[in-house]
Structure 1
Amino acid sequence: MKKKIEQVAKWLGIKTNLKGIDITGVSINTRTLQPGDLFIPFRGEKVNGHKYVRQAIEAGAAASLWQRDEPNPPEDLPLLFVEDCQTALQEMARAYRDELSTTIIGITGSNGKTSTKDLVASVLKPYFKVQKTQGNFNNELGLPLTILSLDEDTKFAVLEMGMSGFGQIQFLSELARPDYAIITNIGEAHMQDLGSREGIARAKFEITAGLETHGKLFYDGDEPLLRPHVENFLQAVSFGFGEENELTVTDIKATENGSSFMVSGIIDAAFSIPVLGEHQVKNTLAAILIALEAGLSEEDIRKSLKAAALTDMRMQIIPAANGATFINDAYNAAPSSMKAALNFIRETTMKEEKWVILGDMLELGDKEQEYHEALEKSITPDLAGVCLYGPRMKWLHDKLVSSYNGKLLWSESDYNPIISLLQDNITADSIILVKGSRGTALEHVIEPFTKQ
């Protein structure tokens, strides 16, 4: 974003005597602020950003917003006065989006949003200028910040859209106005807020609210809960494992270099990605569909997918110092993604001895005990060991005590017993899946094994 301050004021519908100041970005944090940024001082429960406005200007901010009901505005600083700073941020993003010729790709889903975002960006990046959501900037603050960070000559912007309740995805979609929308799947995350998987499906489908009239929706065709929503949606394309999908996948093979697979339907071809897991292959189908829309050839897609890079902790292969292999999928977890990861470890032939380390699944609402206990069906006898972490995993532990004969350990809040058990048992022939919700921070279990 490169605008004069007069243009920003016009976006916001306010008058200002400031002229000629160049605004080259926006910032809500003085620690990451860049020279030329417009500082946006939010008022939170614990911190009032207005206290840092002078510090922001001294650090190089070109100007700052100031909320009208905030007392004692400094008269010697370049300020734009607004009714509400959060609303102002969103209005600036909406106005800037109107001026961009960038193709916007919006992504939502219960699981796999970030992986799909990374795969879509990876397949396009060798051939176009691409920007994507950084970190978890996928909410009512993060999305407008991402839009305002887009360069004017960006060809494709890949934007992740998250939520915790009804109406949030609709707001984000109407703000971003995507040319393409992707729904990765419908899981169980946010069940406590949305009541049921049907409710989750309805909330995720809100991504079509702002879809451009020429736009297309790509969706998980294996999910029956999405079918009622797409029945009357003209530009909807399904992908998944089922033969009825418009793009489907077969012959998935796991290797030490990732996954190879065949796709058929809209395109018939063989591809590979440097990522493990059938669920990641399914996410790749959405990336292939976007690549075809962008005009890429089969060989273009094949080359870029081979070099795809995912954010850490998504089925990430981590070699241990003793030759064992950790699969770090510890960024997040829900029943559906947990089962997908356990399905991978069950079917992989990468190593003979298989271990799983599972952490609590959070935000599951009233059925959380049922969901944890149900994982018993995915714990197969060939596993050498099962380590469980967190108070909720006690439910699964109690189910496994009578049904599982391998090494079994549960720890409520201490990583060390798990680390000790692994140190005494894993070898170069071991593969260890590590999976849990972000709040369990299970990557700490891996750290001692990667130090030389």
Structure 2
Amino acid sequence: MTIEQLYDAYLAHPIVTTDSRRTPQDSLFFALKGELFDGNQYAASALEQGCALAVVDDPAVVRDERYLLVEDVLTALQQLAALHRSRLGTPVIGITGTNGKTTTKELMAAVLSSTYHILYTEGNLNNHIGVPLTLLRLRPEHQIAIVEMGANKPGDIAELTAIARPDYGLITNIGRAHLQGFGSLEGVRRTKGELYDHVRAAGGALFLHTDDDTLVAMAEGMDYVSYGTSPAATVQGRLSPQQDSPYLSFDLMDGVSDTRVMTRLVGDYNLPNALAAVAAGRFFDVPDEAIVSALASYKPGNNRSQWMETERGNSLIVDAYNANPVSMRAALDNFDTIRTDKTPVLILGDMNELGAESAAEHAALLRRIREGRSNRVLLCGPCLMAMEQDFPEGAMGFADHVALAHYLEEHPIHDSLILLKGSHGIHLENIIPLC
């Protein structure tokens, strides 16, 4: 089957699924393969449960005309998404970066959706499968699309930009993450920079954080809308004076009358993310009143920059979706600035996928913990446990979240300010009910 024939089938059945357990009526099932499964084996089940057609790449499973045979299902999914994006011509904003890309995407979506009908990446569907699935949700009524792009090895962003073909690009920052795949910080920079490479070749424009010298150098010669704390930035903001609140607030500096923006995001490190959303809003002519309202109304989820008050009298900062050296230090720096009478407690997990740099980066984390104000520290994960002899005095270690949960059940924490942060693979979110 050609990609044009597949596109005709998609237009007739524009709801796409890759999970045979989730089969919307009259949808199009793509039989993807994984390390431990072969979607071809579930095609018949998907059809029985309501899918209209199944895209497969194993001739042996084809039984009738409802099976659409292609050479490779993943490639077909990606090519179909690229064709659909091209046919609709919707303006696309591509977002990548080491930290903050999901939060930036969510804030930008909140701002732009106040004025436009937009499509944006759901959750963390930002890889070689998630990006095509996002694009295949595009409809003619969408006026702007925001597509998040993740990467853990060289070439990932180039692959995703070839599918999404963004007109505008935004890199939040370049940091030490996924070093196991990238090999070095320079590998991270080159890969994230593939977004700029595409936008440059396409004659598009950037949303550029001009406080970041690395990004500024990478964007040389390109058109951009700038944001940051410098007076030279098109969108300039500064942190509001410290208040008795854990939430980010900042002032938009307009040269005449400044505008105070209140958010429900924990952490001053979210200022660039919020300013990026302001920059996009102003670029697309969203009124300032709508921008401020959207940022004030946005409530973070998915274990990112969340503030919770628990039944045990604890104030809990949940930032347990991801962790790397840059985001971990930012979270600890912010934690130490929060005014509270409660006992500060750190519950931290491993920073995964750091490769050869893992031991050095976890050692640096332990040194940073010693510099902080917390006198109760709980550390979780095999990387940290391997360095138990270097733990700060009084710190306790746990092999995994199960062992940590058992400890908290027997030694509950009360009336404390708790920072909960670690890589997603450590699953610290499972102990939230015990905090």
Is the shorter-chain TM-score for this pair beyond 0.5, marking a shared fold?
Answer: yes
Q: Helix, strand or coil for the counterpart of 2:302?
A: coil
CA–CA separation in structure 2 for the residues paired with 1:288 and 1:20: 36
Query: Residue type of the partner of 2:355?
Result: G
Counterpart in 2 of 1:276?
Answer: 266
Query: Residue type of the partner of 1:228?
Result: A
CA–CA separation in structure 2 for the residues paired with 1:206 and 1:135: 23
Q: Is the 8 A contact 2:47 2:53 kept in 1?
A: yes
CA displacement, residues 328-383 of structure 1 (integer Å, 9 cap, x when unaligned): 10111001000111011100114442111110001111111111111223543532
The unaligned stretches of length 5 or more in structure 2 are: none
CA displacement, residues 27-84 of structure 1 (integer Å, 9 cap, x when unaligned): 11121221221111123343222222222222222222232x5325213x42322221
Counterpart in 1 of 2:204?
Answer: 215
Q: 2:383 aligns with which of 378, 392, 411?
A: 392
Counterpart in 2 of 1:320?
Answer: 310
Q: 1:408 aligns with which of 384, 395, 398?
A: 395
- 1:37 lines up with 2:24 in the alignment: no
CA–CA separation in structure 2 for the residues paired with 1:179 and 1:116: 17
CA–CA separation in structure 2 for the residues paired with 1:215 and 1:117: 19
CA–CA separation in structure 1 for the residues paired with 2:232 and 2:6: 57
CA–CA separation in structure 2 for the residues paired with 1:255 and 1:104: 39
Q: Helix, strand or coil for the counterpart of 2:376?
A: strand
User: Equivalences for 1:86-235 in 2 at 5 Å?
Assistant: 86-211=74-199, 213=202, 215-232=204-221, 234-235=222-223
CA–CA separation in structure 1 for the residues paired with 2:411 and 2:146: 39
Query: Residue type of the partner of 1:448?
Result: L
Counterpart in 2 of 1:54?
Answer: 44
177-186 vs 235-244, which deviates more?
A: 235-244
Query: Residue type of the partner of 1:377?
Result: R
User: Equivalences for 1:298-377 in 2 at 5 Å?
Assistant: 298-375=288-365, 376-377=367-368
CA–CA separation in structure 1 for the residues paired with 2:297 and 2:26: 35
C-alpha displacement at 1:134, in angstroms? 1.7
Alpha-carbon distance change, 44 to 314 in structure 1, aligned in 2, over 3 angstroms: closer
CA–CA separation in structure 2 for the residues paired with 1:94 and 1:365: 33
Alpha-carbon distance change, 138 to 20 in structure 1, aligned in 2, over 3 angstroms: closer
CA–CA separation in structure 1 for the residues paired with 2:244 and 2:150: 32
CA–CA separation in structure 1 for the residues paired with 2:10 and 2:274: 46
Aligned-residue Cα RMSD (Å) equals: 2.7
Q: Is the 8 A contact 1:256 1:350 kept in 2?
A: no
- 1:444 lines up with 2:430 in the alignment: yes
Counterpart in 2 of 1:5?
Answer: none
Alpha-carbon distance change, 196 to 246 in structure 1, aligned in 2, over 3 angstroms: farther
391-400 vs 438-447, which deviates more?
A: 391-400
Q: Is the 8 A contact 1:372 1:395 kept in 2?
A: no
C-alpha displacement at 1:313, in angstroms? 0.7
Alpha-carbon distance change, 254 to 363 in structure 1, aligned in 2, over 3 angstroms: farther
CA–CA separation in structure 1 for the residues paired with 2:130 and 2:263: 29
Alpha-carbon distance change, 255 to 288 in structure 1, aligned in 2, over 3 angstroms: farther
How many residues are paired up? 429
Q: Is the 8 A contact 1:176 1:210 kept in 2?
A: no
C-alpha displacement at 1:223, in angstroms? 3.3
Q: Helix, strand or coil for the counterpart of 1:219?
A: strand
Q: Is the 8 A contact 1:28 1:42 kept in 2?
A: yes
Query: Residue type of the partner of 1:419?
Result: L
Q: Is the 8 A contact 1:175 1:210 kept in 2?
A: no
Alpha-carbon distance change, 410 to 14 in structure 1, aligned in 2, over 3 angstroms: same
Q: Give me the TM-score of the superposition, normalised by structure 2.
A: 0.90
CA–CA separation in structure 2 for the residues paired with 1:308 and 1:196: 35
CA–CA separation in structure 2 for the residues paired with 1:121 and 1:343: 28
Alpha-carbon distance change, 171 to 420 in structure 1, aligned in 2, over 3 angstroms: same
CA–CA separation in structure 2 for the residues paired with 1:82 and 1:241: 51
Q: Helix, strand or coil for the counterpart of 2:345?
A: strand
Q: Helix, strand or coil for the counterpart of 2:375?
A: strand
Q: Helix, strand or coil for the counterpart of 1:323?
A: coil
Q: 1:23 aligns with which of 9, 13, 17?
A: 13
C-alpha displacement at 1:219, in angstroms? 3.3
Q: 2:277 aligns with which of 259, 276, 287?
A: 287
129-138 vs 365-374, which deviates more?
A: 129-138
